[in-house]
């Protein structure tokens, strides 16, 4: 793997950044042949920015604009420009709490990846672990998928199951889901950046 050039990643996040840390550590261990070139958050002072700073990885807050659930057109253009200037080839969403629209997605076609804390298409949207508990399923899990214009709807790259235990609380279930995320996301990203995944329609195939 060592003589293959590292793929540039741009990471977007709004929260504490535990998935970003798992990805950065996988890069440092050469298990993921990539380098995080820039971390952007829509939330000033977000944990993910601090985690990046501790690792000397370029990071910045970029204003999202006036909307609550998406970026304004101007903000979207600023995010694209910053990511391109940093050399990001793949965009990794790691707890980014805004929907990305056509302009952003057209700038990085089939190169925007997300992780969701359920087995999609079950429980899209917010607090998916709570939704799983409320519904009473016996298994939930984690999904890594490419991002399309919908919410949590793009082609699925990788999934893993997590059992729901009889005495689970939302916090305990979320913690176990996150442990699986931290293993699954770097593994799926390595498959993607190495060209090991083909996408046809909704379906992805490992080479």
Which is nearer to ligand GRF, 96 or 108 (by Cβ)?
96
Coil/strand/helix, residue 69: coil
Name the catalytic one among 116, 145, 174, 182.
116
Burial (CB count within 10 angstroms: exposed 0-12, middle 13-18, buried 19+), residue 114: buried
Select the residue interacting with ligand GRF from 95, 141, 154, 186 (CB under 6 A): 95
Closest separation between CB of residue 21 and ligand GRF, Å? 8
Residue 61 is among the residues annotated as catalytic for this protein = no
Binding mask 102-121 for ligand GRF (x = CB under 6 A): -------------xxx----
Q: For residues 19 and 12, what is the distance between their CA atoms, to the nearest angstrom? A: 11
Length of the chain in terms of residues written: 207
Residue nearest to ligand GRF (CB): 95
**How would DSSP label each residue in 87-123?**
T-SEEEESS--SB--HHHHHHSTT-EEEEESS-TTSS
Which is nearer to ligand GRF, 115 or 197 (by Cβ)?
115
140 binds ligand GRF (CB under 6 A): no
Spell 25-46 as b/e; 16+ CB within 10 A means b.
Answer: ebbeeeebbbbbbbbbbbbeeb
Binding mask 24-63 for ligand GRF (x = CB under 6 A): ------------------------x---------------
Select the residue interacting with ligand GRF from 8, 9, 10, 18 (CB under 6 A): 18
Which bin fits 161, alpha (ψ -120 to 50), beta or left (φ > 0)?
Answer: beta
Q: For residues 100 and 91, what is the distance between their CA atoms, to the nearest angstrom? A: 11
181 binds ligand GRF (CB under 6 A): yes
Residues of this chain that interact with ligand GRF (CB under 6 A) are: 13, 15-19, 48, 94-95, 115-117, 178, 181
């Amino acid at each position: 793997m060592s003589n293959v050039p590292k793929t540039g990643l741009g990471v977007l996040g709004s929260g504490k950044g535990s998935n970003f840390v798992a990805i950065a550590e996988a890069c440092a261990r050469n298990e993921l042949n990539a380098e995080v070139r820039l971390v952007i958050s829509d939330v000033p002072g977000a944990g993910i920015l601090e985690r990046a700073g501790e690792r000397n990885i370029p990071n910045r807050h970029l204003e999202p604009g006036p909307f609550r659930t998406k970026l304004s057109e101007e903000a979207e253009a600023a995010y694209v420009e910053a990511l391109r200037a940093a050399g990001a080839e793949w965009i990794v969403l790691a707890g980014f709490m805004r929907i990305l629209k056509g302009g952003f997605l057209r700038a990085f076609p089939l190169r925007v990846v997300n992780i969701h804390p359920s087995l999609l298409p079950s429980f899209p949207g917010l607090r998916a672990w709570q939704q799983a508990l409320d519904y009473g399923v016996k298994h939930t899990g984690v999904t890594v998928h490419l991002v399309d214009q919908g919410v949590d709807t793009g082609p699925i790259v990788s999934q893993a199951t997590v059992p729901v235990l009889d005495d689970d609380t939302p916090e305990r279930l979320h913690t176990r889901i996150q442990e699986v995320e931290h293993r699954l996301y770097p593994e799926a990203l390595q498959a993607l950046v190495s060209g090991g995944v083909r996408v046809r329609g909704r379906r992805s195939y490992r080479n």
